[in-house]
Structure 1
Amino acid sequence: MIQQNSAAFPSSQRLYCVQFKGGRLDIFYVPEGSGLAIKAGDLVIVDADRGKDLGKVTHEDVSIEAARELKTLQHNEQQAALQQNTFDESGNTKPLADSNMTAILQPKQIIRFAQPMEIQQLFVKKIDEEKAQKICMTKVEERGMPMQIRDAEYQWDRRKLTFFYTASHRIDFRDLVRDLFRIYKTRIWMCAVST
C-alpha cells in the first residue's frame, strides 16, 4: 500500500506523470504560485535524486489514486527484480527483509520548462550513455561477473549514472562500482530489472 506523506505537498496540488529514458515514469507536482502551466508533451526540468533531470510530461491532473497505483506497480516490479536476483548459498530464492515495506508517495517538483539548449544536450547524453554501457559491459566481462548490462542512464545534470542489469543470482558489484566511479567521477547506481 502506498501512503501519501502530507508534509511532501498539499493534497490540493496537481500531479503530473513525467517520462524519462526507457519509459521510466515518475510523479511530480508544480508548486502553487509558480505560474507554470504544464501540459502533456512539455519537456521539463524536475527535482531528481540529489540533482535535476529532464523529462517529458505524459499525463496532467493525475489523481492521487492513479499516482499510488503507479508507485505500487513500480515498487512491486523492483521487488520482483530483486527477488529474482536474491538467492541463498543453496541456490534457493531468499526472501527480502523489506519486501512488505510500505512505499510512500512523495512527488518531487517540476522546476521549469526545459530550454532549447538543454533539449539539444539530450543527443550528447544518449551517446555518452551508450559508451558508458559498453564500458560497463567490458568491465563485467573482464571480471567474469554473471550479469548482463541492459542499459545506462545519466541523470540530466550528470550527478548520477544508473546501470540497469539482469542476473540469475545475487551479485556483489562493489568493486565494479568503484571502477566505474574512477572513470565517471559521479554517483554510480546499479538497478536490477526483470528479464
Structure 2
Amino acid sequence: MEKMIRLVFIKLPNGKTEEFDATQLSLETGEDVIVETEKGLVLGKVLSPPHEKEKRFFLKSPRKVTRKATAEDLEQFQGNQQLEKEAFQFCLQKIREKGLNMKLVKTEILLDRSKALFYFTSEKRIDFRELVRDLAAEFKMRIEMRQIGVRDEAKMVCGLGSCGRELCCAKFMNRFELVSVKMAKEQNLALNPTKISGVCGRLMCCLAYEFPTYVDLKKDLPKVGKHIMTPSGKGKVIRQNVLSQTVTVELEEGGEITIHASEL
C-alpha cells in the first residue's frame, strides 16, 4: 500500500494559497496556524479540512504546519503589521536621504521578528550596505534586502486586471510561466501593447491559459491564404474562427462562404 500524507490548504499573509503537510494535527476550516516557509515561520489560515494524497506524487516533501496559532501569535502578528508600516516609512526616508536609485515595494517582518525583509526594484545594482546598517541599528533584527522584478512587484502590491478580477499572480500563481507574443497571435488578438500587457507592463500571464486549446483546435483548420476545395467550388481561406471551427473562403467564381471544418 502506498504511503499517504495528510495535506491541508493554507492561505498565507501574502494572499497565496499553498498545500502544507498537516502532520497529525486536527485542523478545522478557519483555524489560524503557524507554518514553515522558505523565509521562516508565518501565520496562515486553514481553508479546508486535511485530505490525504499518495506521497509518491511529490518530488520533495511539502513544508509542514508547525502548530496551531496561540493568542500570543495573533497579537504578535498584529504588532508586526504595525511594525512593517513603520519600517517601510523609515526605510523610505533613508533611501531619500542617501539618494539611492531604488523603489521600495514592501516590508515584511517574520512572525518571531528574527528577520525583516525589504523588497525593492531598481534598474541598476545598488550598494545598500550603509542602508542595511541603519535599518539593523533601528530595528535590532537581521535585515535582508531583496531586489525583485516588475512582475514580482505587481504580485506583491496586487490590484485588478483588465478583466476586473484580482491579478492572477497575486491570487493563485506560485510561479511565473513563459509568455510570448506568439500566444497572442495564435488567439487572433490585436497586438496592441495596451491590450495584451498587464499592470506590470509585461505580457499578461493569462495569454498562456487558452494557448494549448487554440493550438489544438487550429490543427483541423486550413491556414489563412491557403487555396482549398469546398462544396461551392475552389477558393482561398481569408478568415478563421477557431472556437466555432469555421473558415471564411473567398471563392474563385466570386462571393464568400463560411464553412465548417468537417465539411472540407
Q: TM exceeds 0.5?
A: yes
- Say if 1:161 and 1:143 are closer, same or farther in 2 by CA, change over 3 A: same
How does 1:175-194 map onto structure 2 within 5 Å? 175-191=130-146, 192=148, 193-194=152-153
Distance in 2 (alpha carbons) for counterparts of 1:138 and 1:132: 10
Asked if the contact 1:154/1:160 (under 8 Å) is kept, the reply is yes
Percent identity, please: 31
Q: Displacement of 1:144 after TM fit?
A: 1.1
Q: TM-score, normalised by structure 1?
A: 0.61
- Say if 1:61 and 1:174 are closer, same or farther in 2 by CA, change over 3 A: farther
- Say if 1:24 and 1:167 are closer, same or farther in 2 by CA, change over 3 A: farther
How does 1:1-195 map onto structure 2 within 5 Å? 12-31=4-23, 34=24, 36-48=25-37, 52-58=41-47, 60-61=50-51, 105-191=60-146, 192=148, 193-195=152-154
Q: TM-score, normalised by structure 2?
A: 0.47
Distance in 2 (alpha carbons) for counterparts of 1:49 and 1:161: 14
Partner SS state of residue 145, structure 1 = coil
Distance in 1 (alpha carbons) for counterparts of 2:91 and 2:144: 12
Question: In the comparison of the two structures, how many residue pairs are matched?
Answer: 146
CA deviation map 1:131-179 (0-9, x unaligned): 0110111111111111121221111111111112222333232332222
Distance in 1 (alpha carbons) for counterparts of 2:31 and 2:125: 39
The answer for unaligned runs of 5 or more in structure 2 is 155-264
Partner SS state of residue 153, structure 2 = coil
- Say if 1:194 and 1:145 are closer, same or farther in 2 by CA, change over 3 A: same
Distance in 2 (alpha carbons) for counterparts of 1:110 and 1:173: 35
Choose 1 or 2 for highest CA Rg: 2
Distance in 1 (alpha carbons) for counterparts of 2:87 and 2:16: 19
Computed over aligned residues only, the root mean square deviation of the Cα atoms, in angstroms, reads 3.0
- Say if 1:143 and 1:24 are closer, same or farther in 2 by CA, change over 3 A: farther
Asked if the contact 1:21/1:153 (under 8 Å) is kept, the reply is no
Distance in 2 (alpha carbons) for counterparts of 1:120 and 1:149: 27
Distance in 2 (alpha carbons) for counterparts of 1:130 and 1:47: 24
Higher RCO (CA < 8 A, seq sep 6+)? 1
